Amino acid sequence: MQLTTFEGQTAAELGRAAAPQADFSLYKTIRRNGAVVPFEPVKISIAMTKAFLAVMGNQGATSASIRDKVAQLTEQVVNALMRRKPEGGAIHIEDIQDQVELSLMRFGEHDVARAYVLYREQRSQERAAAAKR
């Protein structure tokens, strides 16, 4: 599902604009299925943008302050993850998502953090139900 936001931009487009630009080639992400893929901070920005939009609605996308917050928060998350593994390495998706929650809470975005946590729980239940089929 793509949320259309301000001036026809999607949450993904807004998130990409907020993602830090650097060389993350030393870092990988371990997906839930065990696959190891390149680490992409843009995905963190997209997820946080969607969480803000879920709480604030599409008018939140018109706010430069929201885009600035997402950029700041993404940078905080990425920096925290890089400090744990300064030499590079693989980071599990759950650890990335935990760090997103922590950063949202520390930044005072409790409603957004709650929406993010609830979405994670909903997706977890959907995955569990799909696995039972």
Q: Residue 2's CB: how many other CB atoms inside 10 A?
A: 9
- pTM (2 decimals)? 0.79
Tracing tokens 């080639």 back to the chain, one arrives at 25
- Residue 103 CA, chain-centre distance (Å), reads 11
Output the pLDDT for position 62: 63
Output the pLDDT for position 57: 83
Angle between helices 110-132 and 93-106 (to 10 degrees): 160
Q: What strands lie across the sheet with 89-92, from one edge to the other?
A: 36-38, 27-30, 89-92
Q: Which segments in the chain show pLDDT lower than 50? A: 1-7, 14-16, 18-19
Output the pLDDT for position 133: 85
- C-alpha gyration radius of the chain: 15
Tracing tokens 């901070």 back to the chain, one arrives at 41
Domain positions in the chain are 6-132
Q: How many Å apart are CA 24 and CA 42, to the nearest integer?
A: 11
What is the end-to-end Cα distance of the chain in Å, rounded? 23
DSSP H helix total and E strand total for the chain: 5, 3
Q: What is the pLDDT of residues 65-80, one digit of tens each?
A: 888 999 999 999 999 9
Q: How many Å apart are CA 109 and CA 115, to the nearest integer?
A: 10
